[in-house]
Chain A
Amino acid sequence: MDDTDRAIVNALQGGFPLSETPFADAAKALGLTPEQLITRIRVMKEQGVLSRFGPMYNADRFGGHNTLVAMSVPPDRFDEVAEIVNSFPEVAHNYQRDHHLNMWFVIAADSRERVARVLTEVQDRTGLPAHDMPKLTEFHIGLKFEA
């Protein structure tokens, strides 16, 4: 990443123009050509700096549902269980954390029923219990990062 990449990341975590020529409009504000901007975004995606270029939704508002799930996975089964969990397209994040509940992941789907079904299938296929902890109140979603 160079300074231009950093400027792009800092400027475009939200607020992407809704116009007929959004890349041209965004590029202008950054002093770039549209082609330069598109190429840099593509390269940062390929490098993995960006997970995607698109929307972050408030899924609650269109019937979508997600929950945080915690499991206590025996260390010698960790990779095997991770592979099962990650095989579900509804699993959006999965982290190993330093706690006896050592696997934490998010299940997101377009209905509460689908989320519940994935949770059941995860438990059936791994043979391990899973605690689900859906959010009760959202106090803040920032998640913008200074590059």
Chain B
Amino acid sequence: MDVNDRELALISALSGGLELCAAPYARLGLVVGMSEAEVIATLSALRERGIIRRLGVIVRHHELGYRANAMVVWDVPDHQVGEVGRRLGQCPEVTLCYRRPRRLPDWPFNLFTMVHGKDRAEVEAAIAGMAVREGVDHYPRHALFSLKRFKQCGARYSQRQAAE
């Protein structure tokens, strides 16, 4: 574990979001028993270390006009998946790129990329264009478009401690 107890308490208290008020870090400090300065210093350190990837607005892409999203999955030989993952991960079309385990025989795919766009046709064109450009068109792939979103919320960590 890369964080201490005080940091974890802060991570937990912040996980539901930052209060929309003039001095939100002072308010957060009241919840976890820290001074405003300590909250700011601790959050700065967590951001510096990459434990907080990002702090700010978290959008719902669908409401923003990105009506189509596809989880594009690829079946890449294990000895090539690192290289292909790094390459696809750098593509402007791709918002997320992970290697995950296959679940044979149901599921042969081991590389997952997310591609968003205004509509299905735009996303399909982006995927096809990227596959050719990056030289990965020969790997079996499948685009799973989302039909319906049932739930989208932030992950809540350390719920027993979180001020919800």
Contact = CB atoms under 8 A, between A and B. Distances in A.
Interface of A: 8-9, 12-16, 18-24, 34, 38, 41-42, 44, 47-59, 61-64, 66, 68, 70, 72, 82, 85-86, 89-99, 101, 104-106, 108-110, 131, 133-145, 147
B26 A20 contact: yes
The dominant DSSP class at the A interface is mixed
Contact of B1 (A63, A94, A104): A63
A70 to B, nearest CB: 7
Contacts of A106: 155
A91 B153 CA distance: 8
17 contacts: A15-B54, A16-B55, A20-B36, A38-B21, A50-B57, A55-B11, A55-B55, A61-B50, A62-B7, A93-B153, A95-B147, A133-B112, A135-B100, A137-B85, A140-B96, A142-B94, A143-B114
Given A9-B57, A34-B22, A110-B157, A145 B116 contact: yes
B94 A101 contact: no
B67 interface: no
Interface of B: 1-3, 7-8, 11, 14-18, 20-26, 36, 40, 43-44, 47, 49-61, 63-66, 71, 81-82, 85-86, 88-90, 94-101, 103, 106-107, 112, 114, 116, 142, 144-159
Contact of A96 (B21, B107, B148): B148
A116 B116 CA distance: 30
A86 B150 contact: yes
Leading 10 A-B pairs by shortest Cβ distance: A139-B89, A140-B89, A108-B155, A54-B17, A14-B54, A139-B97, A137-B99, A94-B150, A97-B144, A12-B56
Nearest to B116: A145
Nearest to A147: B64
B63 A47 contact: yes
Nearest to A44: B57
A42 B142 CA distance: 38
Contacts of B25: 18, 20, 22
Contacts of B60: 48-51
Contacts of A20: 23, 25-26, 36, 40
Contacts of A89: 156, 159
A135 B55 contact: no
Contacts of B152: 51, 92-94
A93 B151 contact: yes
A112 B105 CA distance: 25
A57 B8 CA distance: 12
B106 A131 contact: yes
Given A21-B23, A110-B157, A140-B97, A54 B55 contact: yes
**A16, A66, A104, most chain B CB atoms within 10 A:** A16
Contacts of B18: 16, 53-55
Contact of B142 (A18, A64, A99): A99
Given A20-B25, A140-B97, A143-B96, A13 B66 contact: no
